[in-house]
Amino acid sequence: MYQILHKEKLGPDIYMYRFRAPDVARNRKPGQFVIVRIAENGERIPITITDVDTDEGSITLIVQAVGKTTLQMAQMKEGDFIPTITGPLGEPTRIEKVGRVLCVGGGIGIAPLFPVAEGMKDIGNHVTSILGARSSNLLILIERMREVSHELIVTTDDGTEGEKGLVTDVIRELVGKGKVYDLCIAMGPPIMMKFVCVLTKELNIPTIVSLNPIMVDGTGMCGCCRVTVGDEIKFACVDGPEFDGHKVDFDELMARLAIYKAEEKEALEYYYSKAGCRLDSTLEGGSR
């Protein structure tokens, strides 16, 4: 059993949790995730490890409530236990000194981006971060991202914080000003990663993305998480989750994320009827 040591609300439907999981904390590297199961009969869902504290033996997860499981998780309290945290899973990010790195995070994607940006800066890269969200209250970890970036730019779709617009607008602007980047790392909703990749391909900036397909075991056993990268089929949980963004078939990824739309809705309604709580937002989860 894994205990919630600390829980904090970061924004509407967005929560930060610190769980006790010493072996996971000790062996985790940036870019890796865990599979979480919060109850008997619960689903196994993947969540990126945002941070670890090896002294405390804890890992930090930032989770956006979008459906049944993540909402039920949001109802849990400090001191509660969950039955499963498995990990660290996936291949770690290749943290290398490449020069100037552009870190692009969208919404909840800023959570997995943080440890990668931190690692990239620690090893001596120049880090420029561009963080975007629909609205200011959905922006997370801005201060911590500032600490691990040489330069940080915030945008919101509605202009409630930072520049009004999309992260791709900012990339275009920076490059237009003559800035040069050796690597781009983009994490966020698939649609955002897709358009970042379209742009960086045009601009000739190699780009790494972190993919979030539906998973079950997370150990390469089921093939549910398969994604097309170039002309190869990869299992995101063991071969990824990070891939060369210019080769990823994002349309397929987005279609596959919607496989269980109807069932997810059913599960959420069923939970609403029993638990008497609802999501802060009425947003659909699948498009993230």
Ligand X SMILES: Cc1cc2nc3c(=O)[nH]c(=O)nc-3n(C[C@H](O)[C@H](O)[C@H](O)COP(=O)(O)OP(=O)(O)OC[C@H]3O[C@@H](n4cnc5c(N)ncnc54)[C@H](O)[C@@H]3O)c2cc1C
Residues of the shown chain interacting with other proteins in the complex, contacts defined by CB under 8 A: 23-24, 27, 37, 41-44, 68-69, 83-89, 216-217, 219-224, 226, 228, 233, 238, 252, 255-256, 259-260, 263-264, 266-267, 270-271
Q: Any contact of residue 21 with ligand X (CB under 6 A)?
A: no
Q: Give me Rg for the CA atoms of the chain.
A: 18
The residue among 56 and 284 lying less far from ligand X, judged by its C-beta, is 284
Amino acid at residue number 158: D
Q: Any contact of residue 199 with ligand X (CB under 6 A)?
A: no
CA distance 44 to 96: 32
Q: Any contact of residue 220 with ligand FES (CB under 6 A)?
A: yes
| Angle formed by the axes of helices 190-202 and 250-257, nearest 10° | 180
182-183-184 Cα angle (round to 5):
140
Contact between 65 and 74 (Cβ < 8 Å) = yes
Q: Any contact of residue 208 with ligand X (CB under 6 A)?
A: no
Nearest to 214 by CA among 202, 232, 226, 206: 226
Q: Any contact of residue 117 with ligand FES (CB under 6 A)?
A: no
User: Can you tell me whether residue 85 is helix, strand or coil?
Assistant: strand
In angstroms, give the least distance from the CB of 255 to other proteins: 4
DSSP state of 208: E
Closest-approach residue to ligand X (CB): 67
CA distance 228 to 188: 18
The residue among 195 and 260 lying less far from other proteins, judged by its C-beta, is 260
In angstroms, give the least distance from the CB of 241 to ligand FES: 10
The residue among 175 and 212 lying less far from ligand X, judged by its C-beta, is 212
In angstroms, give the least distance from the CB of 214 to ligand X: 4
The residue among 159 and 223 lying less far from ligand FES, judged by its C-beta, is 223
The residue among 5 and 224 lying less far from ligand FES, judged by its C-beta, is 224
Q: Any contact of residue 188 with ligand X (CB under 6 A)?
A: no
Contact between 288 and 258 (Cβ < 8 Å) = no
